[in-house]
Structure 1
Amino acid sequence: MDKIVNSFKYASRGILYVYKTQRNFRIQLLILLLAILIGLLLNISSAHWVMLLIVSCLVLTLEIINTAVENIVDMITDEYHESAEKAKDAAAGAVLLASFFSVAIGSIIFLSYIF
């Protein structure tokens, strides 16, 4: 049982670290809260809630992974290295791509209730 409790403790500590250190993560959380508010106001369907929460979770999860990649690369080398730059850029690109699709999906969902 202690291993399970410790697993949750370590995972929570990681999420809190990302929250405290990554401005984009905090912005993404605010956008999620705004999306939840809009979803409540528009009374969106259960299926639309599921879609909205999946894409939001994807963005937040990728931001956490991006932070992990950046920290690992920074730990390995302080000097510029093209491979390090590519790793960081690829991780950031994953967040950006998921964010674009998240906005697109959210827009499609919300606009279908407005118009």
Structure 2
Amino acid sequence: MSSVWNDNKKGIGFSHAWAGIRQTLKTEMNFRFHLAAGCIVIFSGFLFKVTRFEWMALILSIGLVLASEIINTAIEKMVDYIKPDIHPSAKAIKDMAAGMVMISAATAAIIGLIVFVPRIGVLLQ
């Protein structure tokens, strides 16, 4: 019996991970938005010559937001699979997962402000 789970033995599961990322890219507008924002932050980091420590904070923030988006998507799809009809508990679970993304995005935005506002202020003087 063939299984969807065991269709590819090579790559230590990387092919499944990339498939999950591609699926999220194709279906989730918020993931694409956060990915684009992350690319802008990376470009800005090069433009403003951020320090090594600032790079670590920025990259960690971008990764946190993107990972949160994928976890949120997986939770939403699982809830829809298990409980396709509207239910207060299903709504609460989905809302909590969305809250996780909001907290990670807000944290990333604050880190971005801490890193870039002083540099932009210097340009405006």
Q: Tell me the secondary structure at the aligned position of residue 14 of structure 1.
A: helix
The Cα of 1:114 is off from its aligned counterpart by 3.0
- State the match for 2:100 in structure 1: 94
Report the TM-score when normalising by structure 1: 0.94
- Structure 1 residue 21 corresponds to structure 2 residue 27: yes
- State the match for 2:54 in structure 1: 48
The Cα of 1:81 is off from its aligned counterpart by 0.9
The Cα of 1:111 is off from its aligned counterpart by 1.4
- State the match for 1:58 in structure 2: 64
- State the match for 1:78 in structure 2: 84
The Cα of 1:21 is off from its aligned counterpart by 0.2
- State the match for 1:112 in structure 2: 118
Q: Tell me the secondary structure at the aligned position of residue 78 of structure 1.
A: coil
The residue type equivalent to 2:71 in the other structure is: I
Larger Cα Rg: Structure 1 or Structure 2? Answer: 2
Mapped to 2, the partners of 1:43 and 1:4 lie a distance apart of 40
The Cα of 1:113 is off from its aligned counterpart by 2.4
Report the TM-score when normalising by structure 2: 0.87
C-alpha distance 110-10 of structure 1, shift in aligned 2 (>3 A): same
Aligned to 1:68, which of 71, 74, 77? 74
| Contact 1:52-1:105 within 8 A present in 2 as well | yes
RMSD between aligned residues: 1.3
Mapped to 2, the partners of 1:114 and 1:68 lie a distance apart of 37
The list of structure 1 runs, each at least 4 consecutive aligned residues, that deviate by more than 3 angstroms after superposition, is none
Structure 1 gap ranges (5+): none
